Amino acid sequence: MDTNDAPVTLVAGGAGFIGSHLCQALLERGEHVVCLDNLQTSRATNVDDLIGHPRFTFVKADVIEKLPATVTALTRRITRVYNLACAASPPHYQADPEHTMLTCVVGTDHLLRLAEQSGARFLLTSTSEVYGDPEVHPQREDYRGAVSCTGPRACYDEGKRAAEAMALDFARLGRADVRVARIFNTYGPRMHPDDGRVVSNFICQALTGDTITVYGDGSQTRSFCYVSDLVDGLIRLMDSETVGSEPVNLGNPNEMTVSDLVTRIVALTGTTAQVDYHPLPVDDPRRRKPDITRAQTMLGWAPLVPLEEGLSRTCTWFAQELRQADRMPLL
């Protein structure tokens, strides 16, 4: 980190899929960025290109522990804190559920306290999972959700709900200036090939010729947002002077079934991979689509990248990744 007095933006979870794109976009805006990450589900290679940048610092640490001295030493300079720290794919966040819950609750508390001490604006990345398996469609921010507090997704869903509750209390008590983004399914380059989520799984399976694994009958829906659109939404939300601490949905309202997604990826890759059907995971939401009216009106934001273009860029990236890993893509 340079020794001058320039304001610093802290990105917790900055080496993850979304976090690394955010760090890059913030550097392009001229910000000084400290990326804090435990590299549990993220990868140092995501920020390889940023290391060595004069305004970028990487700190390996876990937000559930006391924040490291390299970060607290900057308290006076930190003006913005983005909290993206948490495993986000169901197999990853369920692999160590206690750690997931602690990351959401204890990690958010540590970062909120840092924001309080530094007078920084704090942005929590929450999730569409706060709506659970929704009875209301599409989901607006005032819908309170249908979440199971005892199921295998609860460590993440309830963890994020608790994080929202805590962030809103800090805001109500005047302890921090808070923004809350509820992120819907996002995809793009730098997803982990073994992330376990549907877009990365299907693309990697299509490229390698492995069987495409559909869970359930494929009729469940999701709405997929390309990562650059999402990052633009996060930055607009952080910049906004008017939106306040009320949660804002960020996602692409272009809803489709999982079977539709298979069809598109098969068409795009020309794969001959077979499709195989597996049991639907417990508490898997049946439908999901964001109502983005609030983001449109308050932030002037809407996703711009069409699915075909986003999937095509993502396929190209995965093909390179798999080739480098000697996983023999067909393309």
Residues designated as active site: 156
Q: What's the rounded Cα separation, in Å, for the pair 42 and 188?
A: 14
Shortest distance, position 201 Cβ to ligand UDP, whole Å: 4
| Among the residue ranges 44-52, 114-122, 165-173, 277-285, the one whose residues contact ligand UDP (CB under 6 A) | 277-285
Among 179, 222, 289, 294, binds ligand UDP (CB under 6 A): 222
Look up residue 75 and give its DSSP letter.
Answer: T
Among 20, 41, 185, 252, binds ligand UDP (CB under 6 A): 185
Q: Is the Cβ of residue 118 or residue 127 nearer to ligand UDP in the bound state? A: 127
Q: Is the Cβ of residue 193 or residue 281 nearer to ligand UDP in the bound state? A: 281
CB count within 10 Å of CB 89 equals 20
Q: Is the Cβ of residue 201 or residue 271 nearer to ligand UDP in the bound state? A: 201
Shortest distance, position 288 Cβ to ligand UDP, whole Å: 6
Binding map of ligand UDP across residues 189-218, x = CB under 6 A, - = no contact: --------xx--x-----------xxx---
Among 181, 258, 292, 319, binds ligand UDP (CB under 6 A): 258
Fill in the amino acid letter for 224.
Answer: F
For the chain, the distance separating the N- and C-terminal CA atoms, rounded to the nearest angstrom, is 41
Judge whether 56 and 225 are in contact, CB under 8 Å. Answer: no
* CA distance to 81, 98, 192, 199, 233, per residue, from 178 (Å): 10, 26, 30, 31, 15
Q: Is the Cβ of residue 93 or residue 301 nearer to ligand UDP in the bound state? A: 93
Instruction: Number of residues interacting with ligand UDP: please give it, by CB under 6 A.
Output: 15
Q: What's the rounded Cα separation, in Å, for the pair 19 and 47?
A: 9
Q: What's the rounded Cα separation, in Å, for the pair 255 and 225?
A: 10
259 binds ligand UDP (CB under 6 A): no
Q: Minimal CA–CA distance to 77: which of 120, 113, 109?
A: 120
Shortest distance, position 256 Cβ to ligand UDP, whole Å: 11
Shortest distance, position 197 Cβ to ligand UDP, whole Å: 3
Shortest distance, position 139 Cβ to ligand UDP, whole Å: 12
- Contacts (Cβ under 8 Å, ≥6 apart) of 303: 225, 226, 229, 230, 233, 251, 252, 254
Using CB under 6 A as the binding rule, the residues of this chain from 55 to 114 that contact ligand UDP are 89-90
Which contacts of 96-101 are long-range, i.e. CB under 8 A and separated by 24 or more positions?
Answer: 97/152, 97/155, 98/155, 99/40, 99/64, 100/155, 100/156, 100/159, 101/155, 101/158, 101/159
Among 210, 256, 284, 331, binds ligand UDP (CB under 6 A): 284
| Among the residue ranges 39-47, 100-108, 278-286, 307-315, the one whose residues contact ligand UDP (CB under 6 A) | 278-286
* CA distance to 57, 58, 60, 69, per residue, from 65 (Å): 19, 17, 12, 12
Q: What's the rounded Cα separation, in Å, for the pair 111 and 116?
A: 9
Q: Is the Cβ of residue 222 or residue 236 nearer to ligand UDP in the bound state? A: 222
Q: Is the Cβ of residue 66 or residue 286 nearer to ligand UDP in the bound state? A: 286
Q: Kind of pairing, strands 255-257 and 177-183?
A: unpaired
Shortest distance, position 158 Cβ to ligand UDP, whole Å: 15
Shortest distance, position 37 Cβ to ligand UDP, whole Å: 21
Q: Work out the burial of residue 28: count CB atoms within 10 Å of its CB; fewer than 13 is exposed, 13-18 middle, 19 or more buried.
A: exposed
| Among the residue ranges 75-83, 111-119, 276-284, 307-315, the one whose residues contact ligand UDP (CB under 6 A) | 276-284
Q: Minimal CA–CA distance to 202: which of 249, 256, 252, 254?
A: 256
Q: Is the Cβ of residue 12 or residue 206 nearer to ligand UDP in the bound state? A: 206
Interaction site with ligand UDP (CB under 6 A) = 89-90, 185, 197-198, 201, 213-215, 220, 222, 258, 280-281, 284
